[in-house]
A and B are shown apart, each in its own frame.
Chain A
Amino acid sequence: MSKIDQQEAGAPAAPGRSSPHVTRLRTELGRIAAIAAVFGAAITFWQGDPFILNIMAYTFLFGALASSWNIIGGFGGQFSLGHGVFFAIGGYTTANLYFHWQISPWLSLIPAMILAMLVAVLVSWPTFRLKGPFFAIATLALNEVALVLANYFDTLTGGPRGMMLPFNAGLANMVFTSRLPYAVLMLGFLIVCLVVGAMVLRSRLGYYLQAVHIDEDAARAAGIDVLRVKLSGMAVSAALTGIGGSLFAMYLRFVDPPTLLSIQDIGVKFLLIALIGGVGTLYGPLAGALLIIPLEFHLRATLGGMLPGANLLILGALLVIFSLFMRRGVVGAGQALWARYRRTKNE
């Protein structure tokens, strides 16, 4: 596979190539603040509509999760299909601590994050020896093992019946009577993920990850400790995914194996959203979530009753179409259009 091919496959734009200048972290933080302001305004505008607020909460959450996946999957080019495992670890950690010991979910975000990170590093240590499709298969298998284990160890997970979390409304319990605080909470998480993503992208780790993505052997030859870079990227990505799992568990107040570990609804959803938005770009995953999540809600509402699985049917078709014709997602397509527009203007 040539380097140019890989770049089309969603590799981050190499400095001096398709993006003539590298934006500074301060600029990115400004953009993220603008995004926060726009979404904050959207929440205020629709604050009385629980249906829209629910869609917004999901959109922000999955935008954040796809952004987290993007740190190792997009920047680092390690196509993990097993991020559902870290998501489930977060969800189960928070659910257990809240259910058995009434520990505030705000506090349990920390163990959720650390556990997800630890497991990610432990399982990635061996699997990072594998490349491309083999890495994808191994992570898919990990997700399936986690699903089997979650069904089996029912003292920890409630088994196939799942765990219902008690409804004790209050800020300390992260349980709210209205959907408004949840939308705000998910927006906050989205902003955290975008900021972390921007910081990684503009740090030594980010440049190393991109180097590993574009050409692993060349990166190694240049003196980069490839395994360490991949593990660091994975740790950051998994930690954020774990937090996402915790928030999701508190939003649903219910956890069971299919909700947290479904490969089509969770594990693959992250990369699907990232692909449709633009793999390896900072805002691509968010753009993907803004398109996919409302579309899915719409499809489920209109077709779900008649045609079960219609939403996944269309997502599957989109996955094929985007991989064939829009490899760099909507953000990549937008950038290409913008570049062409500027070229014609200069001529």
Chain B
Amino acid sequence: MLSFLNIVIVGLLLGGIYGLVSMGLNLIFGVIRIVNFSQGELVMLGMYGAYLSWFFLGLDPYLSSIIVVPLLFLLGVVLQRFILQPLQNEPFMQIFATFGLLMFFQNLVLAITGGTGYSVRSAASSAVITMGEINVSLPRLIVLIAVIVVALGLNWFVTHTMPGKAVRAVTQDRRSARLMGINVELAFMLTFGAGAALAGLAGVMLAPIYTLSPQIGGNFILAAFAVVVLGGLGSVWGAFFGGFIIGLVEAFAGYYFDPALKHAIWFLIFIIVLIVRPGGLFGIAGAEEMGLREQD
């Protein structure tokens, strides 16, 4: 029973990580209908941003989010304006371009660091909270809290603010939104910026947990795709619960089958969901084809 509870805790904490990483991807995916293959690399840049602020400014990694998050927002705006906007109605070229960005960022960092692994220390790094027989490391708990806060905040933003409503209008029907006077291009730039900023936030939050390497984005991107597809495109709560589902599946598969095969197992689930219900558990059926419909 104890081990069962332990696995659930491990799964939930892991789910928090996956959910946090998926928030930005889901926002971009849901609103702009762009599959951003380079999202994991944006997370990776966020992690290195935390490292740099820690190394040069002595900032605690969690504090460095005040620098890293706005910078990644700017990067996201620039990427959307100059690379993805010209490719708006070209899904195939978007695949090429965002994959190109993935290779570019990953190997840029590899070339600069020479492949040395770095780690960031936070005051919270080694803190462990003990509840009865169960130990929870504080950084992982912070991630779990962060994903709840982000999900609540994002949900409030899209339902209660005018820019959020504009984003939802653009998601539902670009042409009508434009007719209502919404600047679609601006909405896209802000959305991509926000998606990148969320990736940056995820990176900062994960920096104390992982050893930094240029390839680390690859650990997250497929998990994030799985979460987004499982939870449902463009659904904030879809990404939230999808993260926990994937995290729990990974924890249980790792314990009851073989840790080496856990990835294969959730990839299979991912592929099955993609085929049986491409709209995701929380998504609207057929939403996955919106991006291929003629919209401008």
Contact = CB atoms under 8 A, between A and B. Distances in A.
A138 B92 contact: no
B114 interface: yes
Contacts of A307: 111
A46 interface: no
B179 interface: no
Interface residues of B, number: 49
Interface in B86-107: 86-87, 89-97, 99-107
Given A131-B292, A145-B268, A323-B93, A316 B225 contact: no
Interface string A128-146: 0111111011101110110
B184 interface: no
A272 B288 CA distance: 25
Contacts of A221: none
A307 B229 CA distance: 36
A258 to B, nearest CB: 11
A130 B104 contact: no
A316 B107 contact: yes
B187 to A, nearest CB: 20
A324 B97 contact: yes
B234 to A, nearest CB: 14
Interface stretch (A1-9, A173-181, A229-237): A1-9
Contacts of B94: 133, 323
Contacts of A2: 89, 294
A137 B89 contact: no
A313 to B, nearest CB: 4
Residue in A8, A141, A144, A151 whose Cβ sees the most chain B Cβ within 10 Å: A141
Contacts of B252: none
Contacts of A336: none
Nearest to A271: B96
Contacts of A129: 275, 278
B261 A148 contact: yes
B111 A1 contact: no
B149 interface: no
Contact of A151 (B104, B260, B274, B275): B260
B95 A126 contact: no
A254 to B, nearest CB: 22
A316 B101 contact: yes
Nearest to B110: A309
Contacts of A313: 103-104, 107-108, 110-111
Contacts of B86: 324
Contacts of A33: none
A77 interface: yes
A104 interface: no
Contacts of A308: 110-111, 114-115
Nearest to B102: A316
Interface string B198-229: 00000000000000001000000010011001
A103 to B, nearest CB: 29
Given A127-B275, A309-B106, A141 B222 contact: yes
Interface residues of A, number: 51
Interface in B235-278: 258, 260-261, 263-264, 267-268, 270-271, 274-275, 278
A58 B101 CA distance: 25
Contacts, number: 153
A275 B103 CA distance: 15
A312 B103 contact: yes
B104 to A, nearest CB: 4
B35 interface: yes
A310 B100 CA distance: 13
Contacts of B133: none
Contacts of A1: 89-91, 292, 294
Given A2-B89, A79-B95, A142-B271, A320 B111 contact: no
B93 A138 contact: no
A259 interface: no
Contact of B35 (A136, A148, A264): A136
Contacts of B294: 1-2
A144 B261 CA distance: 11
B291 interface: yes
Interface of A: 1-2, 5, 8-10, 77, 79, 126-127, 129-134, 136-138, 140-142, 144-145, 148-149, 151-152, 264, 268, 271-272, 275, 279, 307-310, 312-313, 315-324, 327
14 contacts: A9-B93, A133-B95, A134-B229, A134-B278, A137-B229, A141-B225, A141-B226, A142-B267, A142-B271, A145-B264, A148-B260, A319-B97, A320-B96, A327-B93
Interface of B: 35, 83, 86-87, 89-97, 99-108, 110-111, 114-115, 214, 222, 225-226, 229, 258, 260-261, 263-264, 267-268, 270-271, 274-275, 278, 288-289, 291-292, 294
Given A137-B225, A148-B264, A323-B96, 15 more contacts: A5-B90, A8-B90, A131-B289, A138-B274, A141-B271, A148-B260, A152-B261, A275-B96, A279-B92, A307-B111, A308-B110, A312-B106, A316-B101, A319-B97, A322-B96
